[in-house]
Amino acid sequence: MSDEITIGLVSISDRASEGTYEDQGIPALRDWLGRALTSAWRAETRLIPDDRATIERTLIELADEAGCSLILTTGGTGPAPRDVTPEATLAVGDKEMPGFGEEMRRISLNFVPTAILSRQLAVIRGKSLIVNLPGQPKSIRETLEGVRAGDGSVTHVGIFAAIPYCVDLIGGPYVETDETVIKAFRPKQAIRPKKG
C-alpha cells in the first residue's frame, strides 16, 4: 500500500458551484492540510451544489473509485431546507461516528452559541472516513486544529487529532502531522518510528 493518502475535499454550495461567488472551502482545507500534514498526500477536489443526489454520488465516487481514505466536506450542515449534507452522508455510510459531530459542536460553542444549530457528523464507508465540516474557513480551522489560548497553547484539542488513527483502523495509509499544528494521537503500540 502506498504511504500517500488521497483526501477528498468537497465544497457544497449552490452559489459557489454556480460561480456566483468564489469557493472558500476547498482553499481553506488545502491550506490547513498543507500546514498540518508531514506525510505525502494528494487532494481530489469537488465543488458541487446543495443537492442530495449529487452529494451522495460524489461521496460514493470519491470513496469507491478515487480511493480516498479521508473525505472532508464543507457546507450544507445547517437547519435550512437546502442543507442536506448530513442526510446524504448518512445515506452512503456503513457506520456513523457520532463523536466527531459532538466534538465539532463543542469546539464551535467556544465561539458562537449558534454552534448547536450545526448538524455536522462523520461516517465510515468501506475504507473511507467521511467528515462533514462547517462552512466558514475560520470554523474549519478551529474544528480541525482546536482552540488556542492567547499564548498559542491548545486549550481544546481539534478533531484531526483522532483522524490519523481512525484511518489506520479502517486500513488506510499511516498519516503523520506537524505537532505544532495538531498532534495526531495514537496508542503507544500503534506509533511507528519516525523515518530517516
- In this structure, what C-alpha cell is assigned to residue 77? 450542515
pLDDT of residue 63: 98
pLDDT of residue 175: 97
- The answer to whether residue 84 is domain-embedded is yes
- How far CA 4 is from CA of 70, 95, 179, in Å, comes to 12, 25, 19
Taken as a whole, the chain contains a residue count of 196
- The answer to whether residue 37 is domain-embedded is yes
- The answer to whether residue 134 is domain-embedded is yes
Quote the domain boundaries for residue 152: 5-190
pLDDT of residue 20: 86
| Number of separate domains in the chain | 1
pLDDT tens, the chain, 196 aa long: 568 999 999 999 988 889 888 999 999 999 999 999 999 999 999 999 999 999 999 999 999 999 999 999 999 999 999 999 999 999 999 999 999 999 999 999 999 999 999 999 999 999 999 999 999 999 999 999 999 999 989 999 999 999 999 999 999 999 999 999 999 999 999 999 876 5
- In this structure, what C-alpha cell is assigned to residue 44? 481530489
- The answer to whether residue 16 is domain-embedded is yes
- The answer to whether residue 162 is domain-embedded is yes
- The answer to whether residue 196 is domain-embedded is no
List the CATH number of the domain containing 125.
3.40.980.10
pLDDT of residue 61: 98
pLDDT of residue 2: 64
pLDDT of residue 158: 97
